[in-house]
Structure 1
Amino acid sequence: MARQSSTADRVKKVMVEALDLSLHPDQLDDDLSLYSPVIRMDSLNLLRLIVALEEEFDGQIDDEDVMEADLENVDNLIDLVDKRLAS
């Protein structure tokens, strides 16, 4: 599934850049919690990340989609992007 892999790589790259994470995108495991000490997700970081993803994928994610998504880990975020931006 090359498209999912490509989407995952792009999402992880954007996460590292937008959230100023001090690690390489390859170090973000799909099952890593968005609320872990590594990612430190909060409402401001989530907004910053969604805007960066919308720019990267040249699209828009509706607020309702974000609120309804089960954004617990990196994989959930990749799924949201794949469904709303990468298609």
Structure 2
Amino acid sequence: MHDEGEEIAIRTRKIMVDVLGLRLNPEDIGDDMSLYSPRIQLDSLSMLQLLLAVEGEFDVQLDDEDVMEADLRTVGDLMQLLRRSIRDKSPEGSA
């Protein structure tokens, strides 16, 4: 059984592999891996595609300002942004 944060991480890693066409298994993507590393090779277009895909998957809207403030450098940074956005969207998160 996974907690919510772990479930977000698993789903996000699968999205990364699919959307970015990575030749990695989702479980091989660590939180400390750079989004711009030779293994992920994120650029501005693929970042946009990835953000749109996770917005659709988790039914959240990532504000441009939040994305810029998050200073996304690692997979873990992306996970934190998603967890925060999902938490803020949930009814108990906005209480």
TM-score (norm 2): 0.86
Spell out the pairing of 1:1-87 with structure 2 (5 A cutoff). Answer: 2-85=3-86, 87=90
Q: CA RMSD in A?
A: 1.3
The structure that has the greater radius of gyration is: 2
| Structure 2, unpaired ranges of 5+ | 91-95
Letter in 2 for 1:4: G
Task: Give the deviation of 1:85 after TM superposition.
Answer: 2.7
Residue aligned with 2:80, SS: helix
Percent identity between the two aligned chains: 48
TM-score (norm 1): 0.93
Number of aligned positions between the proteins: 87
Distance 1:73 1:41 in 2: 11
Instruction: Specify which structure has the bigger relative contact order, considering alpha-carbon pairs within 8 angstroms and separated by 6 or more residues.
Output: 1
| Structure 1, unpaired ranges of 5+ | none
Distance 2:10 2:38 in 1: 21
Would you identify which runs of 4 or more consecutive aligned residues in structure 1 move more than 6 Å?
none
Letter in 2 for 1:38: R
Distance 1:63 1:16 in 2: 23
Q: Contact 1:16 / 1:22 at 8 angstroms: preserved in 2?
A: yes
Residue aligned with 1:52, SS: helix
Q: Contact 1:54 / 1:85 at 8 angstroms: preserved in 2?
A: no
